Structure 1
Amino acid sequence: MIDKPSSSFSLENSDCVYADYNATAPISENVKKRVFEVLSKQTLNPSSLHRKGQETRKILQDARDIVHSTIGIPNDKEIVFTSGATEANNLIMRGIKGYQHVISAIEHPSILNSAYKPHIIPVNPEGVVDLSELEQILSKLEGNRAIVSVMMANNETGVIQPIKAIVEIAHKFGAICHTDAAQSVGKIEVNMEDLGVDLLTLSAHKFGGIAGSGVLVFDKKLMIEPIIVGGGQEKGLRGGTENIVAIAGLSAALQDIPDLLSKIDEIWGLRDQLECELLNLVSDIKIFGKASKRLPNTSFIYMPRVKSDVQLMNFDLDNIAVSNGSACSSGKVELSHVLLAMGATKEQAECSIRISIGPGTKSRDIKKIVDCWYNVYKRSTVI
């Protein structure tokens, strides 16, 4: 085991530097413990009327209560468990009928690919949505029902969006507002009531839970049609027996949030150390969104003239896990739509990687990342 921080997160391979937290966070020890507890019950159908079924229903309700209190959900909102933020986002875009879709140019593919003929809000070169453009779009749509969907923080650059201002503009024009908070929970404070959004989605495996569980929170007044039909589970919006094991893991991960947030300053310092050392070594690199408010753990870095797949291969050989921030399901590397929306050149988009650290990251890990990055740069750019 690596040196274990005071949080409940650890990685088993001491030789590995894990710097891909935005792809998935290590499963927390508390989540593992809770999952094993729930698995030991063996029969887990909350729809059953017998005692075993009712015991399982209590697990489900307790998890709902924990989501409600941890994310600051107002009483006029409903909670539905899904298989993740992707399904929750699809349920919004495809299940709420008769609304125009207004989305940012940097949304996750689960929004981009499920929205119908969306109106695209551009972003500035630092990755922040253009509020004046949003206002213009909504003014042209006035008289039409609209959903505005802007992610709370970008999964590639970490840039945090001005959600409160977006909500204010959306509501001024009678639109409803959704934010995908998958990358934000556990990294920054997330309080739905404070944000003022009408809908919010999140995914457990981004903050220490296990993949297979997410949440959609929505205003009770909204009419949503299910995209998965079945026995009427989850208020009729998500047919099929609930994944109690993953949901219990999600609730345990949410209980780790205060501990995760207590590490923000430390993680922020390590991220700044990483960026400062790289900038001192190579002056013509670019860190996307650096001038914007960002998640404390995320750096999307351009290495001049060195393709991202070359970088990733060398990092992997050095037992360091990082990401290019964008890959389709076939495994073919694609140019980041996020970077292109920010005005990056094709060469910059081809030569950038995302480094996303977390509670398990140590100063020595940053040194190893910097050393590997610089060695790759020197080897690959020798004339």
Structure 2
Amino acid sequence: MLSDRSKGSSYVYADYNATTPIGKNVKESILEVLSLQTFNPSSLHRRGQEARKVLQDARDNVRNFIGVPDNKEIVFTSSATEANNLVMAGMKEYQHVMSAIEHPSILNSARNPHIIPVNKNGVVDLVELEKILNKLKGNKILVSIMMANNETGVIQPIKRITEIVHKFGAVCHTDAAQSIGKINVNMEDLGVDLLTLSAHKFGGIVGSGVLIFDKKLEIKPIIFGGGQEKGLRGGTENVVAIAGLSAALHNIPELLVKMKEIEVLRDQLEYELPNLTNIFGKNSERLPNTSCIYMSGVKNDVQLMNFDLNNIAVSNGSACSSGKIEPSYVLLAMGATKEQAECSIRISIGWETKCKDIKKIINCWYSIYNQKAINSDSGDLY
């Protein structure tokens, strides 16, 4: 249960990149599936076939709303993390190439990866990508570049990257978990061979991820069982969470329209912060809802605590890393100093964010900053 403090109208949720509020139609869809009471899609009886239809409808929705070509397969996983692990661990015989700012589920599951640097604006160095691909020529190569970074919101030129990767006969994967519902994602247009999604990043519930991949690729399973999900993911499917994902996909067109308003709010937030504030990736194309902001001299855990005490939820970066406050490797890869990386937070707003919420975030930011100045004058460390 949520605490009273986090349920009130004065509570500001600005951590959409960690997880999103559940859509109304998603809740309705989940309740409808729960009313079936028994659901194993592998069962041959009527109840089992009802559950199987939920999965098939969800696959159809993924295909329709994400622009998935007919030559691609769709497999449900428990999360984008599992889907990313399946790509890396299931394609071990490939040389793994990835950017320095990939999600830990990619970086930590890769085999001896070749790392592509990013520039100070957080964009992958395409010249270095070509150099690495040229060096690895003759090998089976898998390149994984996230579509948009979860900490800075910086969007990568995936279509151009895919063209370069295919020129060298390599395979291209993109983790699009942070992009869905914020910018247009069309797999056919991007041209990638594999693509990862996560339901709870666009109004679904935790427990459902998707891996889409070219049928010609051979991927080995990492979870063994009864041969579910094309033999790539053993275990009974989470029908409830998948039904939620299916419903959330219907909301994407509306969310994309809403993002125009959200971008205005994000820009208002950044405009009203002092000039000495550094906003990482500001000179790059970014997700319309994301700001990664440096506050000089105030550690991010102190900022988070103060925001939380004022009923505002923000993040120090990837929610997957919460509990181990350390400098962001993403910001360090962009050339940030250790102090900058330790004093930066992520504000990610969304479809329930209002103008008054932005004003409250700004006022709280100044309160924290001014308190830092008072403490500095008194000789205290903040």
Give yes or no for TM over 0.5: yes
How far residue 98 of structure 1 moved from its aligned partner, in angstroms, is 1.2
How far residue 329 of structure 1 moved from its aligned partner, in angstroms, is 5.4
Q: 2:254, 2:245 → 1: CA distance?
A: 15
Q: Tell me the equivalent position of 1:4.
A: none
2:204 aligned to which of 200, 205, 209: 209
Q: Tell me the equivalent position of 2:99.
A: 104
Percent of matched pairs sharing the same residue = 75
Render the CA deviation track for 1:10-37: whole Å, top value 9, x for unaligned: x953121000000000111111110001
Q: Tell me the equivalent position of 1:142.
A: 137
Q: Tell me the equivalent position of 2:308.
A: 316
TM-score between the two structures when normalised by the length of structure 1:
0.95
Q: Tell me the equivalent position of 2:277.
A: 285
How far residue 370 of structure 1 moved from its aligned partner, in angstroms, is 0.1
Q: Tell me the equivalent position of 1:269.
A: 264
Q: Tell me the equivalent position of 2:380.
A: none
Q: 1:304, 1:360 → 2: CA distance?
A: 29
Render the CA deviation track for 1:135-193: whole Å, top value 9, x for unaligned: 00000000011000000000000000000111011001010000000000000000000
Q: Tell me the equivalent position of 2:335.
A: 343
Number of positions where the alignment pairs a residue of Structure 1 with one of Structure 2 = 370
Q: 2:8, 2:193 → 1: CA distance?
A: 42
How far residue 381 of structure 1 moved from its aligned partner, in angstroms, is 2.1
The answer for unaligned runs of 5 or more in structure 1 is 1-10
Q: 1:379, 1:216 → 2: CA distance?
A: 46
Q: What aligned pairs does 1:4-153 form with structure 2 within 5 A after superposition?
A: 12-153=7-148
The answer for unaligned runs of 5 or more in structure 2 is 1-5, 378-382
Q: 1:26, 1:204 → 2: CA distance?
A: 11
How far residue 113 of structure 1 moved from its aligned partner, in angstroms, is 0.1
- Any conservation in 2 of the 1:151–1:161 contact (CA below 8 Å)? yes
Q: For residue 152 of structure 1, give the secondary structure of its aligned residue in structure 2.
A: coil
Q: Tell me the equivalent position of 1:191.
A: 186
How far residue 262 of structure 1 moved from its aligned partner, in angstroms, is 1.1
Q: Tell me the equivalent position of 1:8.
A: none
Q: 1:218, 1:61 → 2: CA distance?
A: 17
What letter is aligned with 2:161? Answer: I
Q: For residue 81 of structure 1, give the secondary structure of its aligned residue in structure 2.
A: strand
- Any conservation in 2 of the 1:102–1:149 contact (CA below 8 Å)? yes
Render the CA deviation track for 1:233-265: whole Å, top value 9, x for unaligned: 000000000000000000001111111011011
- Any conservation in 2 of the 1:186–1:257 contact (CA below 8 Å)? yes
- Any conservation in 1 of the 2:155–2:286 contact (CA below 8 Å)? yes
Render the CA deviation track for 1:263-318: whole Å, top value 9, x for unaligned: 0110000000000001xxx2211000000000000000000111111100000000
Change (3 A) 1:326 1:209: closer
2:252 aligned to which of 237, 257, 265: 257
Q: For residue 15 of structure 1, give the secondary structure of its aligned residue in structure 2.
A: coil
Q: Tell me the equivalent position of 2:362.
A: 370
Q: 2:317, 2:259 → 1: CA distance?
A: 22
2:230 aligned to which of 211, 232, 235: 235
Render the CA deviation track for 1:28-68: whole Å, top value 9, x for unaligned: 11111100010010001011011111111111101110001
Q: Tell me the equivalent position of 1:358.
A: 350
- Any conservation in 2 of the 1:327–1:333 contact (CA below 8 Å)? no
- Any conservation in 2 of the 1:306–1:381 contact (CA below 8 Å)? no
